[in-house]
Amino acid sequence: MKRFCFTFLGFALVCLTSFAAGTFRVATYNMENYLDQPTETRPHVKSAEAKAIIRDSIRALNPDVIALEEMGTTNALLELRASLKADGLDFPFWEHVSGADTNIHVAVLSKFPFVTRHPHTNDNFLLDGRRFRVSRGFAEVEIQVRTNFSFTLIAAHLKSRRPVPQADEAELRLQEAKVLRGIIDEHFKANPDVKLIVLGDFNDVKSSDSTKAIIGRGKFKLTDTRPAERNGYNAPNPNPRHDSRTVTWTYHYGLDDTYARIDYILLSPAMARDWVTNETYALTIPNWGIGSDHRPIVATFETEKN
């Protein structure tokens, strides 16, 4: 394992880690309206300065696979992909998924090929006698890392906490989470040892009903990787019932001026066995908030344990 550094925006040093061929990294990043043209409900396109911060963030993570939330059109995704390639980070394989929300989308960029694609664009549910579609759909791809190692990635962006007139926002989010968990359970039904990563912006905290519905319980409970800042803090929580006090927030809510962890990377039991815990973190760089109101997170995995 080697480390190398570069100057970030001329004033800060960011260090990257170069891993052996037997490891790979998977990230998720809500890019806050990465739009190349205004939409009906989102009138502002992404500025050049914000795009530059987003590219620097992705370069700092140096992921092999990254799920993206609040992506604009396919053209916006291809623009980002081309810009990253010009910066030396090439993702030959990509997926762009549309749900009921026609303004923002879920996408995946990958250095590894897709074996299969199963976009979920029309999943729906009943709530108080009305039928709703999952607002952003789910991206699902099987990714071939090497000849004898593949995994399935499911990327999600659940209903926001913003109130809507059609129904209670928390109930809508919970129902979307239940649809997602149904997809997860179908994978376990087909193969109890499936290597599965479920990630993205779940728009709620770990103790919420919607997040708990996705994580599940019992034999097929998903492992929460809980990426945290790499700031030197490694002490256990004095209260053993609680997680460590490491800094894990991923989102700044400007109206309340609060910070919360609402972005996740979750693992099936088989995938958790390949997880490199000490190379899983939330990115900290200067001026991160120019790029997005979210911070990206990344998890690292080994393929040579198999």
Model confidence pLDDT, tens digit, residues 51-107: 999 999 999 999 999 999 999 999 999 999 999 999 999 999 999 999 999 999 999
b (16+ CB within 10 A) / e for 9-18: eeeeebeeee
Q: Which CATH number do you get for residue 157? A: 3.60.10.10
Mean pLDDT, the chain, rounded, equals 93
Query: Which is it for strands 130-133 and 196-201: parallel, antiparallel or unpaired?
Result: unpaired
- Rounded to an integer, the average pLDDT of 209-234 is 97
Domains in the chain, number: 1
**27 alpha carbon, distance to own chain's centre:** 6
- pLDDT score at 20: 52
* Domain presence at residue 247: no
| For the chain, percent of residues with pLDDT exceeding 70 | 92
* Domain presence at residue 20: no
* Domain presence at residue 117: yes
204: nearest Cα among 260, 244, 149: 260
One-letter amino acid at 174 equals L
Query: Which is it for strands 93-97 and 105-110: parallel, antiparallel or unpaired?
Result: antiparallel
* Domain presence at residue 84: yes
* Domain presence at residue 4: no
Residue with tokens 């990344």: 298
272: nearest Cα among 191, 177, 198, 185: 198
pLDDT one-digit tens code per residue, 2-43: 444 544 444 344 444 444 569 999 999 999 999 999 988 898
pLDDT band with cut points at 50, 70 and 90 for residue 234: confident
Query: Which residue range is the domain that position 74 belongs to?
Result: 25-232+262-302
One-letter amino acid at 36 equals D
Q: Which pair of structure tokens corresponds to residue 99? A: 């749900």
* Domain presence at residue 92: yes
* Domain presence at residue 167: yes
d(CA 211, CA 291): 26
- pLDDT score at 305: 67
pLDDT one-digit tens code per residue, 168-199: 999 999 999 999 999 999 999 999 999 999 99
* Domain presence at residue 128: yes
